[in-house]
Structure 1
Amino acid sequence: MKNSRIICLLFAISITIFGCKKKEIQDGDLSFGLHVKDGKYLADKCDNKIILRGVNMGNIYAVNFGLKELEEIEKTGANAVRIVLEKQYKDYSKGGVVTALTAEKIEPLIKSCIEKGMIPVLELHDYTGSADISADLPKATQWWITGEIKTLLLRYNKSIIINVANEPDNGNASAATYRDVNIRAIKTLRDAGYNCPIMLDASGYGKDHTIFISQGKAILEADPLHDLLFSVHAYWPTVGLYGNYSDAQITDNFKALKQSGLPVVFGELAVADIQNAVSYKINYKLLMSLCQENEFGYLAWWWGFNNNPGANNLLSMTNDGLFNGLQDGGKTIAVDDPNSIKNTSKRVCK
């Protein structure tokens, strides 16, 4: 009888252990770190819902890789920074000589963000606007799983988001092609050991939200961890060179994305769409309001530069890279609006 009780106890323990392990993997592994809860929303290691509120930072264009700028971004209360990376960058500490990006350069950015309670969203910018996503997205994926880059990032698997490639389609790809090539990219990253959330940009330079409505569920189901974020770049001007977006249409777009049930992020939200050096105004306040209403993340494009002011442009939130230098729409997005980063951001648990 005693032996039988011991056997039953051991059996019960094994069921509990393996049952929990299975659930953790399915839910993104709560003990692991950042995860997409039930395929619906981003959560931290404490299982708190995290709605991304932050900015894009062009670290590869900044002197000292933008470490000073990260200190300034922290003052907004941002809980995330989308870090622009390229395989080759101009090393301004050496007169702008083109240099291969190394893990040694990336790690301080990751550590700085984590120390400040900001999620590093790492994105590869090389294949922006690709006319052949089938050829170029695999190239981007390969970079993430090669050598020292993979070794570094796997050490931070609990704390990062991988944005495979920035806007890797210019609108040429069919829905089926977009779906299949992204599914292959996800499989490659998972097979390489990445258990972190993976962010995918929409087709058509990130602007075509309908690709997620038609293909998002299939892509999500293909990920064994269901640990994906679907990123729209909302260059939707009221009157623009490549399309006009009324407030009613934008609201309908949000409704459709909400009804999809997918974990949606607006990975680039800006005050204007710049085309051929012309600024086409976007109703960014409406976008911010709808993001808050629908619990969608947003990341403003982009912060601005302190030590490389020549990299600033019409969309720089601050022309000196400093918090006190925030101006106009950048200040509105970061601080002043009721739906600003400062007013709505909640940071991850530690």
Structure 2
Amino acid sequence: MNDIETNFSTSAEWYSGFTGKLDITNRSENLDGWTLEFEAPFEITEIWDAKILSKDGNKYVIGNLDYNKDLASGETETITFNADKVDGEIVAPENYALSSNEAEFSSAAENIKTNNNEDFPAAPTNFSTSAEWYSGFTGKLDVTNTSENLDGWTVEFEAPFEITEIWDAKIISKEGNKYVIGNLDYNKDLASGETETITFNANKVDGEIVALENYALSSNGAANEPVASENIPEPESSIDAGNYPSEDATNEPIASETTTIDNNENSRIEENTFVDDSIDTSSDNAKQEDYLDGSENDSDDSHLQVKGRFLYDANGDKVIMRGIENVVRYGEYQGSGEWNDPYENGSLIDGNGDCVDELAKTGANATRLIGGRPEEFENALEKAVDNNLWVSVGHVDFRDRKVIETIQDNEAYVTLHAQGEVVHEDENKWREDSIQAIKEIRSLGYKAPIEITAGFYGQRFEMILNQGKEILNADPFKNVVFVTQAYSEIENRGGVSANLDKLANFPAPVLVGASNFGIGTQNGYGNDSDTYKEVWDETYKRDLGSFYWAWSDAGYGDVVSSNRRFDGLTPVGDYIVNDSPANLSSHAPKTDFLLDADFK
């Protein structure tokens, strides 16, 4: 064991849990790989900058990741995690021990009883994928018990990839490429001849899906302790996922791909079938049974809910917003980003919602309504819901009683664009202001997702990557969506594709703004005149939501419509609506719940 100094603190707290920060300082020799033991009565549900190797009762063993395995003498490593409270209280870890990982990996493995012996032969399995994207995939593992009935089970296998989410099982340990996963309470009984299907999301290895191998099914003994969160909706397969032409491709449709991997060989058996991108992608699968606040998902208390990097509707179907912003009434933007910044005294553009009727003809599944007095906002929201659009609500008086009633009556269809585009680039101030905004918004009774926009007019997406997790965890509902505006500078800050890759890997939904922002192009600090096309197309490839600024009367941005009507599409509008391979006319699917929308 090595000498160690520790400091435990919390950065966020909600009704049933907290975000903890654990600083560990190595006071001994340099370590090339490390593990940390400690005792804690709580359940860790998420962890960053470390991985859980085992949990035996109250004893945790966690270890380094690849990028932080070197811990020099005197160096401090900070580990962040979410955990459940114990009897409503935050309890501090204790009895820390820091070790080199060579010895500790061995002892951690010994604490996991998988009982692999001759009575439990290798399990007949079938591995397939139900979805695939640029950096990862959704895998399905069918495990059949060919031995005696099991009252609790574990499956061991080897795989070089990182599992990021799992359903119908829990990860007990991961040591190198070796995983041990186990049953949940409701599926612990696995009769002889019965098959259990386990679903997971994982990262590709060098851009490829790699097969699992060396399976073993066992009784779980006594060590089947949970590490991964169970309350995660099963991912649904998106018909649009992967069906996207490359820049040099022809206009021929791209086939969707179903990949089955032979468990005994590293071979991929691909079966291609054409799927029409215009088909609605709503699904009866992967229903979301309840919300993160523990409330039941019923018709009297429905709202969009964040789960991982996606939104889900009240039926549990995945939602990716793709639409156009629409100005109800302009205001004088001060750049403060103060969350309740209503536009009530500027130029009136769409007080009756007529533009919403026209915008809906594009095929968009969403719009962002900007500004308006309470009655004007109500008119526009009614038109949007009646036209089966998700609605991002911005720059209304969220404290106004009529606005509160209007939103809460239709909360199933809205997100709250409540924290706007601050001018400054102070990440710490942005984080604290955002957390305070969330507290104030929730105090008004809103449950809908809260949109938090990055600093410097929405351009500094790095703020989201660096501070977003802490903001998300400050919300008792964990129902936060982040927004960045790729109007200018994105090309000069690493390029469109590279930056969107980073946002697509962020563990919460991100909405990306696109616009042919004329003032930026004219003055040399923005993007070139075609950047909005790349932003629009590349967000679609990555299943990122996107809004174009704006439908009409948009100031500096090139508008979609020159006359506020669908028959007045500009060249920009033609691209967004018709010409883009990610056009709104056939690439903005609506769920069954949205198609049945009813304004109240």
User: Are residue 315 (structure 1) and residue 558 (structure 2) matched?
Assistant: yes
C-alpha separation in 2, matches of 1:217 and 1:300: 26
Q: Secondary structure at the match of 1:342?
A: coil
Q: Secondary structure at the match of 1:121?
A: strand
C-alpha separation in 2, matches of 1:81 and 1:28: 28
Say which of 501, 521, 537 aligns to 1:255. 501
Matched to 1:72, the amino acid is E
Say which of 32, 36, 42 aligns to 2:311. 42
Please show how residues 171-186 of structure 1 align to structure 2 within 5 Å: 171-172=424-425, 174-186=426-438
Q: Which has a greater percent of strand?
A: 2
CA shift, 1:80, in A, is: 0.9
Q: Structure 1's 323 and 313: CA in aligned 2 closer, same or farther, altered over 3 A?
A: farther
Percent identity for Structure 1 against Structure 2: 21
CA shift, 1:156, in A, is: 2.1
Greater RCO between the two (CA within 8 Å, min separation 6)? 1
Say if 1:312 and 1:319, in contact at 8 Å, map to a contact too: no
CA shift, 1:58, in A, is: 1.0
CA shift, 1:276, in A, is: 9.5
Say if 1:39 and 1:220, in contact at 8 Å, map to a contact too: no
Say if 2:416 and 2:449, in contact at 8 Å, map to a contact too: yes
Q: Secondary structure at the match of 1:199?
A: strand
Say which of 535, 543, 561 aligns to 1:287. 535
Say if 1:28 and 1:35, in contact at 8 Å, map to a contact too: no
CA shift, 1:209, in A, is: 0.4
C-alpha separation in 2, matches of 1:220 and 1:342: 33
Q: Structure 1's 275 and 24: CA in aligned 2 closer, same or farther, altered over 3 A?
A: closer
Q: Structure 1's 22 and 185: CA in aligned 2 closer, same or farther, altered over 3 A?
A: farther
Say which of 67, 72, 79 aligns to 2:365. 79
Matched to 1:288, the amino acid is W
CA shift, 1:40, in A, is: 2.3
Matched to 1:151, the amino acid is E
Q: Structure 1's 215 and 162: CA in aligned 2 closer, same or farther, altered over 3 A?
A: same
**Aligned counterpart, 1:336:** 579
Which 10-residue stretch deviates more, 146-155 or 110-119?
A: 146-155
Q: Secondary structure at the match of 2:351?
A: helix
Say if 1:198 and 1:229, in contact at 8 Å, map to a contact too: yes
**Aligned counterpart, 2:391:** 120
**Aligned counterpart, 1:170:** 423
Aligned length: 285
Structure 1: runs of 5+ lacking an equivalent: 1-18, 87-100, 126-142, 237-242, 306-310
CA shift, 1:212, in A, is: 0.5
C-alpha separation in 1, matches of 2:529 and 2:416: 30
CA shift, 1:211, in A, is: 0.3
C-alpha separation in 2, matches of 1:304 and 1:251: 28
Q: Structure 1's 265 and 276: CA in aligned 2 closer, same or farther, altered over 3 A?
A: closer
C-alpha separation in 1, matches of 2:381 and 2:295: 21
Per-residue CA deviation, residues 248-307 of structure 1 (Å, 9 max, x unaligned), is 6221111211222221111x21123424965852512221222111110111110115xx
Please show how residues 1-350 of structure 1 align to structure 2 within 5 Å: 23-26=290-293, 30-31=297-298, 32-60=301-329, 61-65=347-351, 67-85=353-371, 101=373, 103-124=374-395, 143-167=397-421, 169-172=422-425, 174-236=426-488, 243=489, 245=491, 249-266=495-512, 268-275=513-520, 278=523, 280-304=528-552, 315-348=558-591, 349=593, 350=596
C-alpha separation in 1, matches of 2:569 and 2:319: 25
Say if 2:309 and 2:506, in contact at 8 Å, map to a contact too: no
**Stretches of 4+ aligned residues off by more than 6 angstroms:** none
Q: Secondary structure at the match of 2:581?
A: coil
Q: Which has a greater percent of helix?
A: 1
TM-score relative to the length of structure 1: 0.74
Per-residue CA deviation, residues 209-228 of structure 1 (Å, 9 max, x unaligned), is 00000001001111111111
CA shift, 1:106, in A, is: 1.5
C-alpha separation in 1, matches of 2:457 and 2:555: 21
C-alpha separation in 1, matches of 2:350 and 2:487: 30
Matched to 1:108, the amino acid is N
Structure 2: runs of 5+ lacking an equivalent: 1-230, 232-287, 330-346
Per-residue CA deviation, residues 12-52 of structure 1 (Å, 9 max, x unaligned), is xxxxxxx9x99434488643334234242112222111111
Answer with 1 or 2: which has the greater Rg. Answer: 2
Say if 2:559 and 2:570, in contact at 8 Å, map to a contact too: no
TM-score relative to the length of structure 2: 0.44
Say if 1:289 and 1:339, in contact at 8 Å, map to a contact too: yes
Q: Structure 1's 200 and 273: CA in aligned 2 closer, same or farther, altered over 3 A?
A: farther
Q: Structure 1's 23 and 50: CA in aligned 2 closer, same or farther, altered over 3 A?
A: closer
Q: Structure 1's 193 and 320: CA in aligned 2 closer, same or farther, altered over 3 A?
A: same
Q: Secondary structure at the match of 1:82?
A: strand
How large is the Cα RMSD of the aligned pairs?
2.7
Matched to 1:298, the amino acid is S
Q: Structure 1's 226 and 300: CA in aligned 2 closer, same or farther, altered over 3 A?
A: same
C-alpha separation in 1, matches of 2:416 and 2:366: 12
